[in-house]
Amino acid sequence: MEASVDRISQPVAAFFDLDKTIISKSSTLAFGRPFYQYGLITRGAALRCMAGHLAYRTLGASHGQMERIRDWATGLCYGWPVDQVREIVARHLDEVIVPYIYAEARALIAAHRAAGRDVIIVSTSGHEVVDPIARLLGADAVIATRMRVESGCYSGQLEFYAYGEAKAARVRELAAERGYRLEDCHAYSDSATDLPLLQAVGHPHAVNPDGALRRVARQRGWPVLKFAGASNRPLRGRRQREPASITNRSR
C-alpha cells in the first residue's frame, strides 16, 4: 500500500520512528565498528554490536531485547566523552547511516514537508546519533533518549528513555505546546513496541511491521507500508535544518 499526503492548513505533524522505519538498521549498533576503531569499546563489544545489528535487521527487537540493549548500552557508554562520540558520529554518518536510508522514507518525509507538516523523529536511540540524521533529513524536531552527562562524560544513567509509552507521552506534550491536533497527525513505525505512539495519532502507519504490529494493523485497518529501497543518493548537498531537541529542556 502506498501512503498519500494532502496539504492542510492547521498545524500538523508526522512522527517517524527511526530504526527500520527511516533506515534499515539499528542506528546505535551501527556505530560499533567506529567506536572500536577509536578505542571506546573492545573488540568483543564491537563483535557483539555487529551480531546484535544483524539480528535486529533480520528479526527486529522484542520488548525484552530492547530492555537488554538499553542496559548493555548505558553500561558500555560509562565514561565516554560526549564530544568525542559526537565527532565520531559526524565523521562516519555517510558511511554507516546514509546508504541505509530507505528511499521511500526519504520521499515520504519530503512529501509531508511539502504539505506543510512538521516532521518529528521519535527514536529510542540517543540524541548524539539521532540529531545528525534529523539534520540531514530536514526534520523539525527530535524526541530521543538522553544519557546523563557529568563533567562532559556519560555517567551510565539515563535522563530520559524514549521508548514505549514514554514516546507517546512526549508526543502528547509536544502536541500541546505546538498546537497539533493529534487526530490529524501521522505516525510511522515498524514495531509493536511503538503501539502507544501509533495509537496517539489519527493516522497511524505500520512500516515493514513485525508480526505483532502486522496483526494489530490488520485488525484495525491501518495502512501497511513496505519500504525496501535504500538510496545512496547523497544528502550533504542540501541545506541542513537544525531540528529542535525536544528532550533538551529541563523537566
Tens-place pLDDT, residues 104-124: 999 999 999 999 999 999 999
- Which carries the bigger pLDDT value, residue 7 or residue 129? 129
Separation of alpha carbons 224 and 216, rounded Å: 10
Residues forming a β-bridge with 246:
none
Mean pLDDT of 193-197: 96
Per-residue DSSP letter, 241? P
Catalytic member of 19, 118, 131, 194? 19
pTM of the model: 0.83
Ramachandran class of 152: left when φ > 0, alpha when ψ lies in -120 to 50, beta otherwise: left
Mean pLDDT of 64-86: 77
From the list 6, 17, 94, 131, the catalytic residue is: 17
Let me know: does 192 contact 62? Beta carbons within 8 Å.
Answer: no
Q: Mutual orientation of helices 82-96 and 127-137 as an angle, nearest 10°?
A: 40
Q: What is the pLDDT of residue 89?
A: 95
At 205, is the secondary structure helix, strand, or coil? strand
* pLDDT band per the 50, 70, 90 thresholds, residue 68: low
Q: What is the pLDDT of residues 131-144, one digit of tens each?
A: 999 999 999 999 99
Pairing of strands 224-225, 203-207: parallel
Quick one: CATH architecture of 13-24+99-248? 3-Layer(aba) Sandwich (3.40)
Cα–Cα distance, 111 to 22 (Å, whole number): 14
71 is known as an active-site residue = no
